Amino acid sequence: MTIDVPSLLPGRFITIAGRGEFFVRYAPHADATAPVVLLLHGWTASSDLNFFTAYHELSQFATVVGIDHRGHGRGLRPDEPFSLEDCADDAAAVARELGAQRVVAVGYSMGGPIAMLLARRHPDLVAGLVLQATAMEWRATRRERTRWQVSRALGPITRRFVRPRLVRLVFARRFPRRHALRSHLGWMLAEWRRNDPWHMAQAARAISRFDARPWLASLGVPAVVVLTSRDQLVPPRKQRLLAETSSAAVIPLDGDHFVNVLQPAEFSAATSRAVRQVLAAPAVVQVAR
């Protein structure tokens, strides 16, 4: 399978004292007053793999910052357990290092909890939230808790022994031959394989324990939920409850959990629409440079 790399935003490395070296996608807008959009990707993805289909459209009206979380993509590889709180603090540190005063945090799947924690731990930084294909908890039922336990146990084994050829076959089956992104399958597979197996198991544990129900309603920032209506990983009912609890507007997106790559045009349009809707709320988003 050939490696056909899609169009991506400029990348750079940022070293932050006490935290480490971060690889970020960073596209400053020509207008210094343009909003900053901070992209927070999902579990087992990277900023590129999760958001490359929306990069271009977002960069037309905003400064775009994308970070790879710990253990994911080119993210940090610390010798300590993964935590969503650390990821939120990493994202805040990167945004501030780039001069952002206020950001709209866009969190997809696992990135949703990270975005919520970012708003809770750094309220001065977050002007609004776009929460996509995500929930405020994954532990309400015994079945959900059991599924995460099984996932944590089997994930490292699967990644260690499943051959690349089988993974390529699984990837390829999701994309018809005429699909717009079919030529990028090799790149997507290579990007997915950057992830660290130990950190993936740790991240699954962190997600399974996350529960924002006690404090989500108190965040007090404008929010929009992009609800993936055919999602089999994050049930739509959980996404609706997230929207109700956070007083968020809802933008329905007719797709499953991988709509970001399976329906790239629709995902990009919904993401941009959600960001613009947050920006139109009373909070004002500005940047330092």
Task: Kindly report, residue by residue over 1-38, the tens digit of the pLDDT.
Answer: 568 999 999 999 999 999 999 999 999 999 999 999 99
Of 10, 191, 220, the C-alpha closest to 98 is 10
Position 139 scores a pLDDT of: 80
Which of residues 116 and 156 earns the better pLDDT score?
Answer: 116
The four Cα atoms 113, 116, 118, 122 give a dihedral, to 10 degrees, of -160
More confident residue, 64 or 189: 64
Query: What are phi and psi for residue 68, nearest 5 degrees?
Result: -90, 125
C-beta of residue 55 within 8 angstroms of C-beta of residue 8: yes
* pLDDT, mean of residues 161-169: 63
| Helix, strand and coil percent figures for the chain, each rounded to 5 | 45, 15, 40
How confident is the model at residue 177, as a pLDDT?
82
Predicted confidence band of residue 281 (pLDDT cuts 50, 70, 90): confident
pLDDT, position 175: 81
pTM for this model (two decimals): 0.91
pLDDT at 287 over 80: no
DSSP class of residue 7? P
Compute the mean pLDDT over every residue in the chain, rounded to the nearest whole number. Answer: 90
Find out whether 225 and 243 touch, Cβ atoms under 8 Å.
yes
**Domain spans, the chain:** 11-279
* Domain spanning 11-279: CATH 3.40.50.1820: yes
Residue-level pLDDT at 284: 40
Comparing 250 with 186, the larger pLDDT belongs to: 250
Q: Mean of the pLDDT values across residues 228-239? A: 96
